[in-house]
Amino acid sequence: MRTSIATVSLGGSLTEKLTAAARAGFDGVEIFENDLLASPLTPEEIRSRTADLGLSIDLYQPMRDIEAVPEDQFARNLRRARHKFELMRRLGADTVLVCSSVSPLAVDDDALAAGQLRRLADLAQDFGIRVAYEALAWGRHVSTYDHAWRIVEAADHPCLGTCLDSFHILARGSDPKGIEDIPGQKIFFLQLADAPLMAMDVLQWSRHYRCFPGQGGFDIAGLLGHVMRAGYEGPLSLEVFNDVFRQAEAGTTAVDARRSLLVLQEATGPLLQEPTALATPPAPVVPTGVAFAELVTPDVAPVAAVLDALGFTRTARHRSKPVDLWQQGEARVLVNTGPAARRDGTALAAIGLESPDPAAAARRAEALLAPVLPRRRALEDAPLDAVSSPDGTELFFCATDRPGLPSWTGDFGQVEHDRDPRRVTRIDHLALTQPWHQFDEAALFHRSVLGLSAQESVDVADPYGLHRSRAVTNADGSVRIALGVGPAPTDEGGRAQHIALATQDVVDAARRFREAGGRLLPIPANYYDDLAARYEFADGELETYRGLGILYDRDQDGEFRHCYTETIGRVFFELVQRDGGYRGYGAQNAPVRLAAQHAVRPGR
Ligand SMILES: O=C(O)c1ccc(O)c(O)c1
Ligand SMILES: [Mg+2]
């Protein structure tokens, strides 16, 4: 299907919005009136700029407070409409959105509304323009899509149809099934927006919290299914009023937006019997494990010291790059001292995802607009497909020593070593703080590009703000990535990242880490007093935790014990012991941990 986006969904000037929409691959735009009014470009210039970018102007909007008013007022409304139709002729836009009136002058009279909309459509016809009537969820007398349609039907004019907006329909709890009763050709336009489920005033909800399909709680695919069954053939257009997107860079938002439409089409196709024009990206290839985490560092000594104290051994070195492989059990950490490190300091730069079909995983990622990274490799290296995730972390699709597939480990030459204490068995999870405006984008990206499932988002108090976290995982938990946003508990204010390592005995692992000279994050005594109040422990157990800085959590499925290393650059490690079926991440303990991390920063 053709895809379109309302300029109100993006930040910046009209030119920036149009450029971003075109670069992300949209076919058209809805021009929001305020964006035009504020633009120094003439309507003719906007028209040619849009055409040069390969975009059509699919809608001009909104026209407000038109219908069901006293005759003298309607005469003034028609005069206003004539002006706008002239403007639309200059713009080359042939469809205008009229939203249901919120005016105190409007009366509750469907026949009057239909009659006046019919006269508006008559005028529009002279200009070759179509009028799409949309029910705002807070419209004074018309607030549901079926009511708007009844009025359009009664008006019975070829230049008058309805505009459906998923937000207004679903926010009011209307049953979208009735959409199928509207003839497809009379649905002149379809606007799509999702929103988090919240109990609040619907106008505020709409104007501030809309998000792209798949980022909120509405069943947009279900709604689109009804619209497709009705026979709609127009564009799928995103109209998202969102305070964060307004302030974010238009280019990344536009890509996030178009990815949401691809994923929505993919989800809707199977709901329909007939073949449709909906996009069908290549199927997801879900990763089956974490092959490695790659750190970059300009200063290898402290990183090597922490890895060594954690029980890792440097087992191999890349044949052509300054990259070491440190290993313990199935946990593999690459330490890269190449050029990126001088730019970024110590950071988690890349994740290797074990993939059943790395090439197919890369094709899926590319189809869903993940930036493909150039393969910078020496001749003998294994071909590794990689894409960049929204926060810049590189994701490699790889195979580790699997028959028939080139293994990334082949690029490394063994280094003499004689120990593998196996205190750490594998990487339990990776936690990546996202840029503040890319949290929803990151969740949708990991879910759609990688085929991971997103868990509920959790809010955690941080002494300097709020930390929000949402995990994306595969079915067996062998890939867990915790996406977060919040104030940075790092020295230079960089976005914190951490590697959580699974161990079967966190007390032993913590003790040995300390004996080897490692420093664990100190946890306040008050925390342990509270633990004593909440749970009963065996004799001496709590004292052991207190002495080492081990945190404890329990839920209906099992227990969780964990502790943290000091932070190097943006990165720290966590040792975690999961028992029973505990699937969380110790959110209960996160406020104490975050406060402790802030507390050890210089000057606190
Ligand atoms: O919030 C509004 O006023 C508004 C305007 C136009 C729309 O299409 C819409 O859905 C909402
Ligand atoms: Mg709308």
Read off the CATH number of the domain in which 167 is found: 3.20.20.150
Query: In terms of domains, do 504 and 387 share one?
Result: no
Q: Is residue 210 part of a domain?
A: yes
Q: Is residue 278 part of a domain?
A: no
Q: Is residue 276 part of a domain?
A: no
**115 DSSP β-pair partners:** none
Q: Given the structure tokens 């490394």, which residue do they identify?
A: 412
Distance 191 CA to ligand 2 centre (A): 6
**Res. 379: pLDDT tops 80:** no
How many residues comprise the chain? 604
Distance CA 57, CA 38 (A): 17
Distance CA 520, CA 128 (A): 72
Distance 172 CA to ligand 2 centre (A): 14
Rounded to two decimals, what is the model's pTM?
0.96
Query: In terms of domains, do 249 and 369 share one?
Result: no
Residue 425 CB-density burial (10 A; 0-12 exposed, 13-18 middle, 19+ buried): middle
Helix (H) or strand (E) holding 51, with range, is helix 43-52
**pLDDT score recorded for residue 378:** 60
Atom of ligand 1 nearest to the CA of 163: 8
% of the chain beyond a pLDDT of 70: 99
Q: Is residue 548 part of a domain?
A: yes
Average pLDDT, the chain: 96
**pLDDT score recorded for residue 554:** 96
Atom of ligand 1 nearest to the CA of 206: 1
**Res. 420: pLDDT tops 80:** no
Q: Given the structure tokens 């020593």, which residue do they identify?
A: 401
Number of domains in the chain: 3
Distance CA 417, CA 317 (A): 12
Binding residues: 134, 165, 191, 239, 429, 498, 574
Mean pLDDT (whole number) for 103-114: 98
Residue 604 CB-density burial (10 A; 0-12 exposed, 13-18 middle, 19+ buried): exposed
Query: In terms of domains, do 399 and 430 share one?
Result: no
Encode pLDDT of 70-92 as tens digits.
999 999 999 999 999 999 999 99
Residue 572 structure tokens: 């720290």
Contact 89, 71 (CB under 8 A): no
Q: Which of 134, 140, 164, 192 to mutate to test the pocket of ligand 1 (most atoms within 8 A of CB)?
A: 134
In sequence order, what are the residues at sequence separation of 6 or more whose Cβ sits closer than 8 angstroms to the Cβ of residue 350?
A: 292, 293, 294, 334, 386, 393, 394, 395, 396
DSSP state of 568: B
Q: Given the structure tokens 């009011």, which residue do they identify?
A: 172
Contact 349, 393 (CB under 8 A): yes
**pLDDT score recorded for residue 422:** 84
Encode pLDDT of 293-338 as tens digits.
999 999 999 999 999 999 999 999 999 899 999 999 999 999 999 8
Query: In terms of domains, do 480 and 527 share one?
Result: yes
DSSP state of 446: H
Q: Is residue 179 part of a domain?
A: yes
Mean pLDDT (whole number) for 124-142: 98
Mean pLDDT (whole number) for 458-485: 96
Binding residues for Mg(2+): 429, 498, 574
Mean pLDDT (whole number) for 348-363: 96
Distance 62 CA to ligand 1 centre (A): 7
**Upper half-sphere CA count for residue 266 (Cβ side, 13 Å):** 19
Residues with CB under 6 A from ligand 1: 61-62, 97, 99, 134, 136, 165, 191, 206-207, 239
% of the chain beyond a pLDDT of 90: 90
**pLDDT score recorded for residue 151:** 98
DSSP state of 335: E
Distance CA 169, CA 146 (A): 9
Distance 239 CA to ligand 2 centre (A): 6
Reduced to 3 DSSP states, what percent helix, strand and coil does the chain have, rounded to the nearest 5?
35, 25, 35
Atom of ligand 1 nearest to the CA of 193: 10
Encode pLDDT of 402-411 as tens digits.
888 888 998 9
Distance 262 CA to ligand 1 centre (A): 24
Distance CA 89, CA 87 (A): 5
Residue 249 CB-density burial (10 A; 0-12 exposed, 13-18 middle, 19+ buried): middle
**pLDDT score recorded for residue 595:** 96
Q: Is the ipTM, as predicted for this complex, more than 0.85?
A: yes
pLDDT band, very low/low/confident/very high, at 376 (cuts 50, 70, 90): low
Distance CA 232, CA 297 (A): 54
State in Å, rounded, how far the first CA of the chain is from the last one.
55
Q: Whose CA is nearest to atom 9 of ligand 1?
A: 136
Query: In terms of domains, do 395 and 452 share one?
Result: no
Q: Which of 512, 565, 507 is nearest to 540 (CA)?
A: 507
Report the CATH number that the domain containing residue 367 is assigned in CATH: 3.10.180.10
Query: In terms of domains, do 448 and 485 share one?
Result: yes
Distance 372 CA to ligand 1 centre (A): 36
Q: Is residue 299 part of a domain?
A: yes
**Res. 205: pLDDT tops 90:** yes
Q: Is residue 314 part of a domain?
A: yes
Query: In terms of domains, do 397 and 434 share one?
Result: no
Residue 297 structure tokens: 């560092």
Query: In terms of domains, do 248 and 295 share one?
Result: no
**pLDDT score recorded for residue 492:** 78
**Which ligand has an atom closest to residue 32 CA?**
1
Q: Which of 30, 31, 35, 136 to mutate to test the pocket of ligand 1 (most atoms within 8 A of CB)?
A: 136
**pLDDT score recorded for residue 73:** 98
Residue 447 structure tokens: 């879910």
pLDDT band, very low/low/confident/very high, at 128 (cuts 50, 70, 90): very high
Q: How many CB atoms lie within 10 A of CB 584?
A: 16
344 vs 429, which has greater pLDDT? 429
Distance CA 2, CA 234 (A): 7
pLDDT band, very low/low/confident/very high, at 419 (cuts 50, 70, 90): confident
Atom of ligand 1 nearest to the CA of 191: 8
Mean pLDDT (whole number) for 182-205: 98
The last residue of a domain, from among 212, 244, 271: 271
Q: Which of 48-52, 248-252, 489-493, 528-532 has the lowest mean pLDDT?
A: 489-493
Distance 231 CA to ligand 2 centre (A): 20
Query: In terms of domains, do 592 and 534 share one?
Result: yes
**Which ligand has an atom closest to residue 102 CA?**
1
**Which ligand has an atom closest to residue 137 CA?**
1
CA angle 503, 509, 515 (to 5 degrees): 165
The last residue of a domain, from among 414, 449, 473: 414
Atom of ligand 1 nearest to the CA of 203: 1
Mean pLDDT (whole number) for 225-249: 97
Encode pLDDT of 423-443 as tens digits.
999 999 999 999 999 999 999
Distance CA 548, CA 553 (A): 16
**pLDDT score recorded for residue 191:** 99
What is the residue range of 180's domain?
3-271
Mean pLDDT (whole number) for 481-501: 91
**Upper half-sphere CA count for residue 218 (Cβ side, 13 Å):** 29
452 vs 377, which has greater pLDDT? 452
Q: Which of 206, 208, 211, 246 to mutate to test the pocket of ligand 1 (most atoms within 8 A of CB)?
A: 206
**571 DSSP β-pair partners:** 497, 568
Q: Whose CA is nearest to atom 2 of ligand 1?
A: 207
Q: Whose CA is nearest to atom 5 of ligand 1?
A: 62
**Which ligand has an atom closest to residue 164 CA?**
2
Atom of ligand 1 nearest to the CA of 134: 8
Query: In terms of domains, do 432 and 328 share one?
Result: no
Q: Whose CA is nearest to atom 11 of ligand 1?
A: 136
**Res. 381: pLDDT tops 80:** no
Mean pLDDT (whole number) for 273-288: 95
Q: Whose CA is nearest to atom 1 of ligand 1?
A: 207
Query: In terms of domains, do 102 and 76 share one?
Result: yes
Distance 110 CA to ligand 1 centre (A): 21
Distance 267 CA to ligand 1 centre (A): 26
Q: Is residue 391 part of a domain?
A: yes
Distance CA 279, CA 442 (A): 22
Query: In terms of domains, do 329 and 454 share one?
Result: no
Q: Given the structure tokens 């807070």, which residue do they identify?
A: 138
Encode pLDDT of 548-576 as tens digits.
999 999 999 999 999 999 999 999 999 99
The last residue of a domain, from among 237, 271, 305: 271
